[in-house]
A = this chain, B = another copy of it.
């Protein structure tokens, strides 16, 4: 039961994308999505609150919310007194504790993690497993389905669907892994349909940084934000761009390859073949090389946490390197801000260990590098340390697909 929910119509007179019209029922789904989003953004709200928020009548909100209550996705909380005396107390709406859960998978080279997530973002069950990077595709699929079945077994209610986040290049419309540098066996694998058939649930496949961005939006620092960039800085660098209320996705799932934007055209050669990619000066590898050059202690095991410690302890070389690393990180942020002006940048991965010392430095650097005329100063935030964001985002993929926010 493979269901990308929007199968492209088979034949079009021209080669371009079809013109798609708005329908009453589509409008209804969009509105349901907007209400869910508002609840996620602002916490439990009564129908009256939602009506004021959207500028519509309470009756309208009632009719939008009704199907969600009947499906068991939402539930009414205890009546609560408002600030003003008098009046009927409002019954806040919130995600039902026993709502149909969402299944999520995070697949990276050699490792897979599956989880069952409640609609309000709590992880109900989790299971993970390792596999050989060189394992054949079938083994990987088995591993994914195994872990998925393990977490699905823990729930009496049938899950709404499965979201899969993959590190690599994917085509989300067909659910196919186009390429995966570190697991070449998976290239061309239609993982979405395969898993969908085995677990008999709709499956949504997408890029890891994009899922991460959705996770930030649903239950991270991006909550309630209209635009932000969610950047992963680890062995590689990628970004999920949330722009004007929707995750950005180029043709065939491209985009977000911010790690391979050139910032130092005469710099060192990147493994992608280009010179001076951001990755060459902003990943841990760069940090360790520079640390070794400066003969810092434990250079080969250098982390942002260690460096922050050395810097705070007064090591001049470490201090300089720390500042330079912040500068390098800020470079990519600044470029993105100039182009898209998301305003908010949520950093994940290795940098998080650098803590407030690093965050503040990056933010200061970024702001000083931007022209003062910029209306809103960009804000830098770190994701949470125990990084379940991607997993939550994978779950959010299911909701995003079920309730599209934009027509």
Contacts and interface: CB of A to CB of B under 8 A. Distances in A.
Interface string A327-343: 00001001110111111
Interface stretch (A95-103, A143-151, A372-380, A392-400): A372-380
A53 B18 contact: yes
Contacts of A326: none
Nearest to A376: B251
B340 A255 contact: yes
Contacts of A302: none
A217 B71 CA distance: 42
Interface stretch (A26-34, A114-122, A348-356): A26-34
Interface string A238-276: 010101101011111111111011111111000011101
A371 to B, nearest CB: 5
A34 B20 contact: yes
Contact of A251 (B171, B341, B369): B341
Contacts of A253: 375
A270 to B, nearest CB: 10
Given A178-B375, A251-B341, A375-B254, A22 B16 contact: no
A241 B241 CA distance: 14
A13 B262 contact: no
B53 A37 contact: no
How large, as a class, is the contact surface on chain A? 35 or more
A21 interface: yes
A190 to B, nearest CB: 16
B255 A339 contact: yes
A333 to B, nearest CB: 11
A136 interface: no
Interface string A98-140: 0000000000000000000000000000000000000000000
A13 to B, nearest CB: 6
A273 B38 CA distance: 41
A79 to B, nearest CB: 19
Contacts of A339: 239, 241, 255-258, 261, 336, 339-340
8 smallest beta-carbon distances between A and B, as pairs: A250-B341, A254-B341, A407-B407, A22-B27, A252-B375, A255-B341, A261-B335, A257-B338
